[in-house]
Structure 1
């Protein structure tokens, strides 16, 4: 694992705080009751038999039938507009050939519908709360608002579309025993796009290996000294690579794709998210944004010094704005979410 990178420009928090307990429910933005802290949901998939049942559910035909889940929101300002900035078209969405074994596809069921997103294996050892079995994705890939959590959730790192069913995948398959997201996402209020982060605590794969052992590496998390409610200390101009398995046209979900470049803030719709030039489509949701080493020299290329520190996830795009992806800030709220998920509570 590469642990030398740090978000010094953005002010990484020194360590994770104590485990945040779920508070007494309060009234949400839409009038529904929701807790003020991270929202944790036990899936009931704990035993080997239950894990294998989820794997058996995902037949080859169901894997193919899963709808790429994306999130598009209307622009708050007239025209939608925006531009991909000064970045060349080559970094808006390019097949990644350099490994990146920590990224994979997330398959899940929401109600009666089957969906596919992306996710990343994380073990944030620098914060002192460790787990070798944690996946970070988008909030809309684990929860549809309120108590509507995903079922049959499965993570496949280094997804191989040619493998028969779920067997034969390079690193095995991992089913979720617990899903978590932010209370703001659960409440589905106007600020939900600033908190669109979900996590999954997964079991071992078919061979009894933890996720970290199977992929041979994990990402760390870089927390900034701010949050969507207080962004004064957030540096929006950093270099990053985003990764995902976009499955909506012009992509088909068979390849790991990356975008890279300099981030900015949101000047279109008023979110507190980062903005990155990128043309990835539905199915890439939940894929990681990895912080580039400060030694990377512009213009960034595929071979730039991309690191193992995750700073965001692919979240949404604005209707009418081309070549732009938005991702939420990893501040104190996401730090608490990680601690809750890692502890399995």
Structure 2
């Protein structure tokens, strides 16, 4: 499925101008979508602190799914998101050493390298409310493609996002060292658009240029691969924005991938306590921590309700490869 976003230079300017510093600071992690749209969540709330995740959420960032009954995975319905609150006194985890950890459930990335440029924050509007996700650039023929979660582009069977903007290398305080890029064409897989199928929770976006430069020319682009072997080591990156994180820093998880033990999806799991806002952040295999380069083979998509320390990401197979081909030709 394809959606044309900002068509003309005037559209590009309008989208980029929409995101004032104040709007960016107020944007919410997208898993709050259903509660916001019903109008009951934001009454009297002036900041992100204290927000609860809406019940009845059918799809959205870091959605929490129920564990199936034994032998009944295919009949188990998907549940709404549950509240994610840190334990008392929790603070954002900080990895102070420049040497990265190869097993971590959530640490600040302080090593530098290409990944600090190719990963960024996404700002978008859905149903009239502003939200945030994460995304990463990948090598493409048009030098314009970023990959994120499908629910950061289109609300499953519902609306496409508006005002979609990518800020590569986002830094604390709203710094934009490499500019900002508006979406011109957006793509999701058919199974995601028709039924919000988590196996296909992938979105690809072809961007406009910034200061006459393609995003890949400005910040570089990670490799992307399809139909790779399952398992192995992966590094997942993103900008988690719900407590104990703030959305202001690039955070990473690292460890061995494993299949979904509940059999509900073909996704793979990564030990990771990143929260909403990290959705769509890239998972890199064959990652070289010294240079910050790797190969994108998945992304942050969802968690199960009884296992908040495991993030699941979709497998990049033939359908996602077809999606990528369409995006790089846009």
Query: Same fold by TM (over 0.5)?
Result: yes
C-alpha displacement of 1:304 = 7.4
Measured in 2, the distance between the counterparts of 1:114 and 1:121 equals 22
Equivalent of 1:219 in 201, 214, 222: 222
The Cα offsets for residues 15-51 of structure 1, whole Å up to 9 and x where unpaired, read as xxxxxxxxxxxxxxxxxxxxxxxx01101x1333221
Task: Quote the offset at 1:162 in angstroms.
Answer: 2.2
| Matches for 1:81-230 after TM superposition, within 5 Å | 91-99=104-112, 100=115, 101-124=117-140, 130-146=141-157, 148-163=159-174, 169-188=176-195, 192-205=197-210, 207-215=211-219, 217-224=220-227
Report the 3-state secondary structure (helix = DSSP H, G, I; strand = E; otherwise coil) of the residue aligned with 1:283.
coil
| TM superposition outliers: structure 1 runs of 4+ over 6 Å | none
Q: Secondary structure at the match of 2:237?
A: strand
The corresponding residue for 1:75 is 66
What's the C-alpha RMSD, in Å, of the aligned pairs? 2.2
Q: How many equivalent pairs are there?
A: 268
Whole-Å Cα distance in 1 between the matches of residues 321 and 257 of structure 2? 21
Asked if the contact 2:150/2:156 (under 8 Å) is kept, the reply is no
The 1:271–1:304 alpha-carbon spacing in structure 2 relative to 1, beyond 3 Å, is farther
Over 3 Å counting, the alpha-carbon distance change for 1:145 and 1:197 in structure 2 is same
Contact 2:103 / 2:254 at 8 angstroms: preserved in 1? no
Residue from 255, 272, 277 that aligns with 2:271: 277
> What is aligned with 1:26?
none
Q: Does 1:41 align with 2:57?
A: no
Secondary structure of the residue that 1:246 maps to in structure 2?
Answer: coil
Matched, 1:243 2:237: yes
- 2-structure distance, mates of 1:98, 1:260: 14
Aligned counterparts of 1:159 and 1:305: Cα–Cα separation in 2: 19
Once the 2 structures are TM-superposed, how far is the Cα of residue 288 of structure 1 from its aligned partner?
0.3
Contact 1:153 1:175 in 2 (8 A): yes
User: What is the SS of the residue equivalent to 1:324?
Assistant: strand
Q: Which fold has the larger relative contact order, with Cα–Cα distance below 8 Å and residues 6 or more apart in sequence?
A: 1
Structure 1 323/306 Cα, relative in aligned 2: closer, same or farther at 3 Å? farther
What displacement does 1:161 show?
3.6
Deviation at 1:147, TM superposition (A): 5.4
Using the size of structure 1 for normalisation, the TM-score is: 0.73
TM-score of the superposition, structure 2-length normalised?
A: 0.76
Would the aligned equivalents of 1:171 and 1:214 in 2 still touch at CA under 8 Å? yes
In the other structure, the counterpart of 1:319 is: 305
Residue aligning to 1:254: 248
Q: 1:61 aligns with which of 8, 18, 22?
A: 22
